[in-house]
Amino acid sequence: MTIACYLRVSTIGQNEVGQRREIQKWLEGHQITTGVRWYTDKDTGDNLDRPAFHALQKEVFAGEVQTVVIWKLDRLSRSLRDGVNTLGEWCEQGIRVVSVTQQLDFKGAMGKMMAALLFGLAEIEQETRRERQRVGIEAAKERGTYKGRRSGTTKVKPKRAKTLQERGLSHAEIANSLGVSRRTILRYLATC
């Protein structure tokens, strides 16, 4: 049986070093040195369409994982429905889910109930942030200072993604090698 450590950052510019450090401290504090697998996604938490998350799900339902350790609950999902459903499914499989920084241990009915509450709060926080952003953009437009995102800005050249695809790499492999999300790769390939 494996302990799965799941990390997620929302953008390519972010890194998961802080999350990894805190989870590593938790592992060391519980004297866990073997049987640990790390899963890392660099993608939004708005949905569950993430390569490392899919790999983790596959191993959870294959019975290869007994515990999932995350830095914070919102790393799993920012959607109330997705988060509660995922946690509920994992709890039904007998999986222990630990949120390190929140010092929460989810297992069974009480764990599912507590997770539902926390996911609800995370979703409210995200909606509040989006509302503030929308209001700020509207105010900037009224002042005539809003320019929006510059079109055509890319981290890497889209042609590089096409070259890697022609060499037989999957979208996930291309994204990993270029340090961008899989969605970005799909967008790049559509423009080439």
Predicted model pTM: 0.60
Q: What's the confidence (pLDDT) of residue 108?
A: 65
Indicate whether 80 pLDDT > 90: no
Give the single-character DSSP code of 153: -
Token pair for residue 178? 């270029």
Distance CA 99, CA 22 (A): 10
Token pair for residue 79? 């959607």
Residue 16: which pLDDT band, with cuts at 50, 70 and 90? Answer: confident
Q: What's the confidence (pLDDT) of residue 192?
A: 74
pLDDT in tens, 33-66: 899 999 999 887 778 888 999 999 999 988 899 9
Of the candidates 58, 60, 47, the one whose C-alpha atom is nearest the C-alpha of residue 91 is 60
CATH code of the domain made up of 2-120: 3.40.50.1390
Indicate whether 185 pLDDT > 80: yes
Average pLDDT, the chain: 84
Mean pLDDT of 88-117: 79
Q: What's the confidence (pLDDT) of residue 153?
A: 58
Secondary structure (3-state) at 35 = coil
